[in-house]
Amino acid sequence: MTSGLSRRSLLGAAALAPVVAPLGSRPARAQQGYPMRPIRWVVGYPPGGTTDVLARLIAEPLSRRLGQQVYIENRPGAGNNIGTDAVVKADPDGYTILLVNPANGINTTLYKKLNFDFVRDIVPVAGITRSPNIMEVTPSLPVRTVAEFIAYAKANPGKVNMASSGLGTSVHMSGELFKKMTGVDMVHVPYRGAGPALTDMLSGQAHVLFDNLPSSIEHVRAGGLRALAVTTAERSPALPDVPTVAETVPGYEASAWFGVGAPRRTPPDLIARLNREINDVLSDPATGQKLANLGGTPLRLTPEEFGKVIVDETEKWKKVVEFSGARMD
pLDDT in tens, 86-126: 999 999 999 999 999 988 999 999 998 899 999 999 999 99
Are 126 and 261 in the same domain?
Answer: yes
Q: Is residue 24 part of a domain?
A: no
pLDDT at position 1: 35
Query: How many domains, the chain?
Result: 2
Q: Is residue 199 part of a domain?
A: yes
Question: First and final CA of the chain: distance in angstroms?
Answer: 33
Q: Give the side-chain half-sphere CA count within 13 A for 236.
A: 32
- Max Cα separation, the chain? 65
pLDDT at position 202: 96
CA atoms of 32 and 272, how far apart (whole Å): 13
Q: Is 252 in contact with 245 (CB distance < 8 Å)?
A: yes
Ramachandran category for residue 77: left, alpha or beta (phi over 0 → left; psi -120 to 50 → alpha): left
pLDDT at position 294: 84
Q: Is residue 311 part of a domain?
A: yes
DSSP symbol at 210: E
Residue type, 114: L
Are 192 and 169 in the same domain?
Answer: yes
Are 236 and 266 in the same domain?
Answer: no
Q: Is residue 3 part of a domain?
A: no
* The domain boundary residue, chosen from 221, 247, 273: 247
Are 177 and 241 in the same domain?
Answer: yes
Are 287 and 141 in the same domain?
Answer: no
* The domain boundary residue, chosen from 247, 266, 284: 247
CATH number of the domain bearing residue 64: 3.40.190.150
Q: For residues 195, 321, 220 and 281, what is the CA-based torsion angle, rounded to 10 degrees?
A: -70
pLDDT at position 260: 98
pLDDT at position 31: 61
CATH number of the domain bearing residue 227: 3.40.190.10
Task: Reply yes or no on whether the pLDDT at 23 is more than 70.
Answer: no
Task: Reply yes or no on whether the pLDDT at 283 is more than 50.
Answer: yes
Task: Reply yes or no on whether the pLDDT at 148 is more than 50.
Answer: yes
Are 237 and 139 in the same domain?
Answer: yes
Are 265 and 119 in the same domain?
Answer: yes
Are 117 and 163 in the same domain?
Answer: no
pLDDT at position 128: 97
Are 195 and 108 in the same domain?
Answer: no
Q: What b/e readout covers 294-307, taking b as 16+ CB neighbours within 10 angstroms?
A: bbbbbbbbebeebb
- Chain centroid, CA 159 distance in Å: 27
Q: Is residue 146 part of a domain?
A: yes
Q: Is residue 31 part of a domain?
A: no
Q: Is residue 166 part of a domain?
A: yes
CA atoms of 37 and 23, how far apart (whole Å): 16
Q: Is 43 in contact with 51 (CB distance < 8 Å)?
A: yes
pLDDT, tens digit, for every residue of 297-322?
A: 899 999 999 999 999 988 888 888 88
Are 185 and 236 in the same domain?
Answer: yes
pLDDT at position 36: 97
CA atoms of 184 and 155, how far apart (whole Å): 9
Are 118 and 173 in the same domain?
Answer: no
CA atoms of 170 and 211, how far apart (whole Å): 8
* The domain boundary residue, chosen from 206, 225, 247: 247
Task: Reply yes or no on whether the pLDDT at 3 is more than 80.
Answer: no
User: Which residue did the predictor score with more confidence, 31 or 181?
Assistant: 181
Q: Is residue 18 part of a domain?
A: no
Q: Which domain holds residue 108?
A: 39-130+256-324
Are 190 and 242 in the same domain?
Answer: yes
Sequence-ordered strand ranges (E) for 75-160: 96-100, 122-137
